[in-house]
Amino acid sequence: MNPLAWLTAWWGSRRIPLAWLLLTRQPVRLAVALAGISFAGILMFMQFGFRDGLFDASVTIHRLFDADLVLISPRSSSSVSMAGFPRRRLVQALADPEVTGVTPVHWSLLLWRNPETRATRSILTLGFEPTDPLFTDPGLAAKARVLSERGRVLFDELSRPEFGPVAPWFKQGRTVESEISGKRIRVGGLVSLGTSFGADGNLLTSSETFLQLLPNTPPGSIEVGLVRLRPGADVAAVQARLRRELPSDVQVLTKAGFIAFEQDYWRTSTSIGFIFTLGAGMGFVVGCVIVYQILYSDVSDHLPEYATLMAMGYRLTHLLGVVAREGLLLAILGYIPAFAAGQGLYLVVRNATNLPVAMDTGRATLVFSLILIMCMGSAALAMRRLGDADPAEIF
């Protein structure tokens, strides 16, 4: 039987939609239930959104690098505390036949002075040879030319506004100068990178300028080494070979591994993941309590009516089905406003924090599953009340 014929047959043989009518003929109770479920859903969307946004945001820069393999120091724990390793290791890596190019990168958080208010704030600064490829974005090479002049930086226009109105001033044609670690620098261009929890803003500069800003950097020491391979090369095999050949003062990661390294830090070494998961859990519990209360009092209020239906010859399983359908309808009806509000709040969060928080299928499914569990679990508990519906007592 084809689905359409089946659907027609089902529609033709349907019964009074008791669950739907029980819910919709009590609009106040329905509104309270939906408000509770939506609230729980929104809370879960926000908490999971923040958590995932944080993990995503922590690797905004990491995703941009033009690299197949990344060398870092084993002492580095995250983007906010990168340790140095000898630049020689990168040159050694270049000896591998599969390696086509390398880029040494200096990486540090430096104090930037707001050119307007003179307040200082920590900004992530990357130093590299302007002629080397750094990011996969091909537009960078042209912009990087300006860095060959000493004391020039490229400013990330997506940086938080606390760093000052650098981008607007620069676009107006003004000369934007500021100070880093007591050294004068000039903004030579704008790039579009994005903020993260670890860095409120980003700055690109040449290795030469970087070393001027941080004169205590040991010579020949870098924080990140980008390694590019011949197209079609076996990344895992080269990674294994470099690990074997290079001393243990350097760690060889794939680009994906480099991203995971950063995310793992935020996930495991901070309580951020726990806090947001706990927040989502509380939303779940609050939702459970509300839905259970609503369904339980609904069943209690209609107990004589359920008993009447049993006296008429309806089976207990049929009545259990009514409560289950009520739970299912509540889950679906409560999820829709939660989803819509979640979208809206994500937009607000994106605008307010520049964090990459967006609705994705995984999270949308996760929250719906949790709401479904919440409603069906509550329905299952409320069903126990149906056992008290005794048709012998209704005469």
Among 308, 321, 328, 333, binds another protein (CB under 8 A): 308
- Nearest-approach distance from CB 19 to another protein, in angstroms: 10
Cα–Cα distance measured from residue 289 to residue 182, given in angstroms and rounded to the nearest whole number: 58
323 touching another protein, by CB under 8 A: no
Nearer to another protein, 25 or 244 (CB): 25
Nearer to another protein, 28 or 352 (CB): 28
Nearer to another protein, 169 or 314 (CB): 314
Nearer to another protein, 31 or 240 (CB): 31
Nearer to another protein, 289 or 311 (CB): 311
Among 4, 5, 142, 312, binds another protein (CB under 8 A): 312
Closest CA to 161 of 103, 121, 101, 214: 121
Nearer to another protein, 24 or 343 (CB): 24
Q: Which of residues 223-262 bind another protein (CB under 8 A)?
A: none
Cα–Cα distance measured from residue 253 to residue 239, given in angstroms and rounded to the nearest whole number: 7
Q: How many CB atoms lie within 10 A of CB 365?
A: 10
Q: DSSP alpha helices (H): ranges in 13-158?
A: 18-24, 27-57, 60-64, 88-93, 140-144
Cα–Cα distance measured from residue 128 to residue 252, given in angstroms and rounded to the nearest whole number: 19
Applying CB under 8 A, the span of 88-96, 136-144, 153-161, 306-314 interacting with another protein comes to 306-314
Q: How far is CA 61 from CA 144, 182, 391, in A?
A: 17, 26, 68
Cα–Cα distance measured from residue 123 to residue 116, given in angstroms and rounded to the nearest whole number: 16
Q: How many CB atoms lie within 10 A of CB 177?
A: 12
Applying CB under 8 A, the span of 11-19, 164-172, 209-217, 283-291 interacting with another protein comes to 11-19
Among 74, 168, 304, 344, binds another protein (CB under 8 A): 304
Are the beta carbons of 335 and 41 closer than 8 angstroms? yes
Among 2, 15, 216, 249, binds another protein (CB under 8 A): 15
- # binding residues, another protein (CB under 8 A): 26
Rg over CA atoms, the chain: 30
Among 28, 182, 351, 395, binds another protein (CB under 8 A): 395
321 touching another protein, by CB under 8 A: no
**Phi, psi (rounded to 5 degrees) for 247:** -65, 170
Nearer to another protein, 170 or 314 (CB): 314
Those residues whose C-beta lies under 8 Å from the C-beta of residue 64, and which sit 6 or more positions away, are 135, 136, 137, 193
Nearer to another protein, 114 or 308 (CB): 308
311 touching another protein, by CB under 8 A: yes
Applying CB under 8 A, the span of 199-207, 231-239, 265-273, 311-319 interacting with another protein comes to 311-319
Cα–Cα distance measured from residue 178 to residue 181, given in angstroms and rounded to the nearest whole number: 10
Among 123, 310, 331, 382, binds another protein (CB under 8 A): 310
Cα–Cα distance measured from residue 318 to residue 279, given in angstroms and rounded to the nearest whole number: 37
- Site pattern 18..57 for another protein (x: CB under 8 A): x--xx--xx-------------------------------
Q: Which of residues 357-386 bind another protein (CB under 8 A)?
A: none
Among 313, 352, 361, 387, binds another protein (CB under 8 A): 313
Are the beta carbons of 123 and 179 closer than 8 angstroms? no
Nearer to another protein, 14 or 244 (CB): 14
Cα–Cα distance measured from residue 55 to residue 262, given in angstroms and rounded to the nearest whole number: 8
Three-state DSSP class for residue 65: strand
Positions touching another protein (CB under 8 A) are 11-16, 18, 21-22, 25-26, 302, 304-305, 308-315, 391-392, 394-395
